[in-house]
């Protein structure tokens, strides 16, 4: 009756693989053993099917332990978290001893539960029902009323079809990672580099004034109606290092994502991620900002969406490595104040929902796509309103401080006075910095009275600002009030003893 059990094993395996879409992990037609995998209810299930006669309980326990060790050694399967392990034997007779619940004797089975199915001739129907119920599958009719000759004739066909299915599954997996060509990635790299070189040619990419002029995210201008800055800021970079780091990340992430999703899905995700990240930055970050970081973090979001759709494949390939890189990047951003975490985290969230709108190739689901699009619109609209109202961004005046510092360096003193005077109509916590910048412009225009008034007010607001003491000392020295000049020079040198200019002025006035 050996042929009957062998036929049953391969007929059952055929149904699980071909009809129920289980994935073949490993298969040996000579040994009569197959390892299958399926994700069910957000958990990974591994099934080992074996045609084997086991006579004793201890023999069964040893074979279970050996199977469990094989599972544990396969780290690629293990990466996805807890694994539900199903072990199925097809045999003519059951063990002669009491063998039920022997799987509970395996020491590590609490970590990855073992479910045992022993399909001897008397219990095949019952055990098969238990297996199929575990996956909520309809039970097929495995016809054993055919003759042994017919079974023997059918076996080569079943095995051949399973081998062919295994090869098709492998080709299908490989095709997922090579769906598209990274054409748009290369185009975006060229565009970003071209824009950077142009800005360096006409100005300075590290200049706040230049960045604002060419479309950086500048909250006051956005609140005045220049919402297009959310998009244009994606293509500007602040210095060569910023450009290099972003383009390096875009090259590696972009090629991977565009191969997974294809060109138009990649373009959609990249642009919508950048807009989402830019809007998050507008809501949370008062500083002038620029860069492709939000869009690039959106590509992380696209890969995480791939992980939701293909959990097994995700953890078998990029899984924990990708998660580790995301955690490192976010942690680094939290530790370094200059990094725009709003754009980074916002871009990743936006990338996830933007990808959920288009989904993976050949995986349409209109209702889920519509829900994802509505969520994206609600979130980005909410951030726009929140940013405009300034609920999370009370840094009023900071942008004007940055801009007027740049204007003072370029000699546009009249514009400095105009901007700071307007900003000081509703002074926030940057009042002292605005007054200091205006006083510097007044000094350069020889309006000493106005400069002195501003500097005295600065020191009322911020007595420890060494630069204000120093400038006031220069002003008093200029009008001949040596004693007051010496007092302020001494104060500046005490506050910042490492500044040689402060110490030299004090020494000259003593």
Q: Which residues are catalytic?
A: 293, 344
Q: Where are the beta strands (DSSP E) in 3-60?
A: 23-28, 33-40, 43-51
Distance of CA 152 to the CA centre of its chain: 53
Which residues lie below 8 Å from residue 425, measured CB to CB, with a gap of 6+? none
Give the DSSP H/E element, type plus range, for residue 87: strand 83-90
What's the token pair of residue 429? 């916590």
Rounded CA separation 503/491 (Å): 10
What's the number of CA atoms in the CB half-sphere (13 Å) around residue 88?
29
246 and 291 Cβ atoms separated by less than 8 Å: yes
In total, the chain counts a number of residues equal to: 510
What's the token pair of residue 70? 């094989």
Sheet bearing 33-40, strands edge to edge? 23-28, 33-40, 43-51, 83-90, 114-119
CA angle 117, 121, 127 (to 5 degrees): 30
Which pairs from 418-427 meet CB under 8 Å and 24+ separation? 423/397, 426/396, 427/397
310 and 42 Cβ atoms separated by less than 8 Å: no
- Residues 181-204 as b/e (b if ≥16 CB within 10 A, e otherwise) read ebebbeebbeebeebbeebbeeee
Which residues lie below 8 Å from residue 154, measured CB to CB, with a gap of 6+? 7, 11, 146
Number of C-beta neighbours around residue 160 at 10 A = 11
3-state SS of 394-436 is CCCCHHHHHHHHHHHHHCCHHHHHHHHHHHCCCCCCCHHHHHH
Q: How far is the CA of 459 from the CAs of 261, 355, 395, 465, 491, in angstroms?
A: 58, 53, 21, 7, 11
Rounded CA separation 205/201 (Å): 9
- DSSP codes of every residue in 177-239: TTSS--HHHHHHHHHHHHHHHHHHHHS-TT-HHHHHHTT-B-HHHHHTT-TTHHHHGGG--SS
């Amino acid at each position: 009756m050996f042929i009957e059990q062998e036929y049953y094993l391969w007929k059952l395996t055929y149904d699980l693989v071909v009809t129920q879409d289980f994935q073949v992990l490993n298969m040996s037609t000579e040994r009569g053993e197959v390892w299958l995998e399926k994700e069910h209810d957000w958990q990974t299930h591994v099934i080992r099917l074996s045609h084997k006669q086991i006579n004793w309980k201890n023999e069964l326990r040893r074979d279970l332990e050996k199977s469990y060790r094989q599972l544990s050694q396969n780290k690629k399967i293990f990466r996805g978290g807890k694994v539900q392990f199903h072990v199925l034997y097809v045999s003519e007779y059951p063990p002669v001893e009491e063998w039920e619940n022997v799987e509970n004797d395996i020491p590590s089975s609490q970590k990855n539960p073992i479910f045992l199915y022993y399909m001897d001739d008397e219990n095949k129907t019952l055990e098969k029902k238990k297996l199929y119920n575990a996956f909520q599958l309809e039970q097929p009719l495995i016809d054993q009323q055919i003759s042994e000759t017919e079974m023997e004739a059918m076996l080569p066909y079943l095995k051949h079809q399973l081998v062919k299915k295994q090869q098709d599954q492998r080709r299908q997996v490989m095709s997922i990672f090579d769906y598209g060509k990274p054409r748009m990635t290369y185009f975006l790299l060229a565009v970003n580099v071209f824009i950077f070189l142009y800005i360096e040619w006409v100005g300075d990419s590290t200049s706040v004034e230049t960045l604002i002029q060419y479309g950086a995210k500048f909250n006051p201008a956005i609140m005045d109606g220049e919402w297009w800055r959310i998009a244009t800021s994606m293509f500007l970079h602040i210095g060569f290092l910023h450009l290099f780091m972003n383009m390096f990340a875009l090259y590696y992430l972009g090629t991977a994502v565009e191969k997974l999703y294809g060109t138009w899905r990649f373009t959609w995700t990249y642009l919508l991620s950048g807009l989402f990240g830019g809007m998050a930055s507008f809501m949370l970050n008062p500083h002038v900002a620029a860069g492709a970081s939000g869009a690039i973090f959106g590509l992380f979001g696209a890969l995480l969406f791939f992980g939701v759709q293909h959990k097994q494949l995700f953890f078998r390939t990029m899984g924990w490595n990708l998660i580790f890189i995301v955690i490192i990047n976010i942690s680094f951003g939290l530790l370094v104040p200059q990094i725009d975490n709003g754009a980074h985290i916002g871009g990743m969230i936006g990338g996830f929902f933007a990808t959920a709108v288009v989904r993976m190739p050949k995986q349409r689901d209109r209702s889920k796509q519509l829900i994802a699009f509505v969520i994206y619109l609600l979130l980005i609209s909410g951030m726009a309103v929140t940013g405009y109202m300034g609920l999370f961004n009370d840094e009023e005046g900071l942008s004007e401080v940055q801009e007027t510092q740049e204007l003072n360096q370029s000699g546009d003193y009249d514009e400095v006075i105009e901007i700071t005077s307007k900003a000081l109509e509703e002074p926030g916590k940057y009042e002292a910095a605005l007054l200091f910048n205006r006083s510097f412009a007044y000094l350069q225009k020889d309006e000493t009275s106005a400069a002195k008034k501003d500097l005295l007010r600065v020191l009322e607001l911020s007595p420890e600002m060494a630069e204000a003491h120093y400038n006031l000392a220069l002003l008093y020295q200029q009008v001949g009030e040596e004693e007051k000049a010496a007092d302020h020079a001494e104060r500046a040198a005490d506050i910042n003893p490492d500044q040689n200019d402060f110490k030299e002025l004090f020494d000259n006035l003593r």
